């Protein structure tokens, strides 16, 4: 009952935050001008961006296979792993972070990879992506220091006592983390199934140190983020008002979008629109145009996930389960 109530609260809070940010982004928008702009879009750039997303999905699937390989799954098919990734993205549209668990469940169904093991590798993936985003933020600071600082100041300008709020948030995270750790430790000691799950999870998280194909891992990460960059940047050429934006502005789009999508809101709805439009104002892009471009960017990503994720979900129904010859059960027997 408590678990169900917690899930309802998280979903309600996430949805409420999304609606609030969506309202803030659109509150001063001239919708007649908004509709007029949609008629002037060169949708060729949008379609190219949607097709480019396939490269990003495959790069993520390929990288995930590299992490799973040293854990006893050397024969995973990148196409099948990509189906799991796509269905995971689709699940994220329904509820934030549901996709991570969903794609691990897909790997259990198709290749008998324990959820605890694959979830550990997903955590490793997210840590790598976080460090990549931090590196891009540092790059943006070098290239566009004044604009990035102004953007951050603007985002938090509506909050009173930002420093105090950060301290409170930090304390909540520390106390919450400590409670989760204590609870986890007690369950780890007392419950065999929990102990087995946590051991597999930790094994998955530490999979990076055993990766043999390190160049493949690095290159797939680079391909993934370069594709993300072009997916967002080329859409600026779809409308005349933003076609002049430089490649550096593209870096800012990528960084701002990455920060927005890190907020636990369904599909980045609201946060993406508010953050991107606020950033574009710094490049003298008018408010309505900024919100329109943010909507175009976000919608193109949603359409890509809906189309390719939907197809992946249908295809996965007909995929036969593959039992790895070197699965966890086989290793135990050995």
Q: Supply the DSSP string of 240-284, one letter for each residue.
A: GGGTT--HHHHHHHHHHHHHHHHSSSGGGTTHHHHHHHHHHHTTT
- The predicted-structure confidence for 186-205, as pLDDT tens digits, reads as follows 766 677 776 776 777 777 77
Residue 213 domain flag: yes
Greater model confidence, 131 or 153: 131
Provide the pLDDT for residue 4.
Answer: 54
Would you place residue 104 in the very low, low, confident or very high pLDDT band (cuts 50, 70, 90)?
very high
Provide the pLDDT for residue 162.
Answer: 46
Query: CA 117 → CA 77, 105, 204, 213, distances in Å?
Result: 17, 11, 5, 19
Percentage of the chain modeled with pLDDT above 90: 37
Question: Can you state the angle between helices 2-26 and 287-317, rounded to 10 degrees?
Answer: 140
Percentage of the chain modeled with pLDDT above 70: 74
- Residue range(s) defining the domain that contains residue 256: 15-321
Contacts of 63 (CB under 8 A, 6+ apart): 125, 216, 217, 220, 221, 224
Residue 7 domain flag: no
Provide the pLDDT for residue 175.
Answer: 76
Residue identified by tokens 């949008």 is: 46
Residue 275 domain flag: yes
Provide the pLDDT for residue 331.
Answer: 44
Distance CA 200, CA 119 (A): 9
Q: Which of 14-23, 210-219, 323-332 has the highest mean pLDDT?
A: 210-219
Name the domain count of the chain.
1
**pLDDT for 23 beyond 50:** yes
Greater model confidence, 202 or 123: 123
Would you place residue 98 in the very low, low, confident or very high pLDDT band (cuts 50, 70, 90)?
confident
**pLDDT for 327 beyond 50:** no
Would you place residue 325 in the very low, low, confident or very high pLDDT band (cuts 50, 70, 90)?
very low
Residue 167 domain flag: yes
Residue 326 domain flag: no
Q: Choose the weakest-confidence range: 169-183, 222-236, 281-295.
A: 169-183
What is the average per-residue pLDDT within 88-96?
A: 82
Residue 331 domain flag: no
């Amino acid at each position: 009952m408590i678990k169900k109530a917690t899930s309802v609260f998280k979903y309600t809070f996430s949805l409420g935050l999304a609606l609030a940010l969506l309202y803030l982004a659109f509150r001063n928008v001239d919708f007649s001008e908004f509709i007029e702009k949609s008629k002037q879009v060169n949708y060729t750039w949008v379609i190219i961006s949607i097709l480019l997303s396939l490269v990003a999905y495959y790069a993520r699937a390929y990288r995930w296979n590299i992490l799973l390989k040293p854990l006893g799954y050397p024969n995973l098919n990148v196409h099948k792993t990509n189906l799991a990734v796509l269905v995971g993205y689709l699940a994220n549209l329904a509820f934030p972070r549901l996709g991570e668990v969903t794609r691990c469940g897909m790997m259990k169904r198709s290749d008998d990879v324990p959820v605890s093991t694959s979830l550990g590798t997903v955590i490793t993936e997210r840590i790598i992506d976080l460090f990549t985003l931090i590196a891009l933020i540092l790059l943006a600071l070098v290239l566009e220091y004044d604009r990035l600082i102004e953007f951050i100041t603007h985002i938090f300008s509506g909050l009173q006592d930002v420093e105090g709020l950060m301290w409170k948030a930090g304390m909540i995270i520390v106390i919450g983390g400590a409670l989760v750790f204590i609870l986890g430790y007690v369950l780890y000691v007392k419950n065999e199934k929990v102990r087995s799950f946590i051991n597999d999870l930790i094994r998955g998280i530490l999979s990076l140190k055993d990766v043999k194909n390190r160049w493949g891992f690095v290159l797939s990460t680079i391909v993934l983020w370069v594709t993300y960059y072009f997916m967002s940047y080329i859409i600026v050429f779809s409308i005349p008002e933003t076609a002049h934006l430089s490649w550096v502005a593209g870096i800012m789009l990528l960084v701002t979008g990455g920060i927005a999508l890190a907020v636990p809101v369904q599909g980045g709805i609201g946060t993406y629109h508010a953050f991107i439009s606020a950033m574009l104002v710094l490049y003298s892009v008018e408010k309505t145009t900024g919100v329109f471009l943010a909507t175009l960017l976000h919608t193109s990503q949603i359409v890509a996930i809906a189309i390719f994720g939907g197809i992946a979900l249908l295809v996965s129904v007909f995929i036969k389960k593959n039992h790895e010859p070197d699965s966890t059960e086989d290793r135990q027997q050995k």
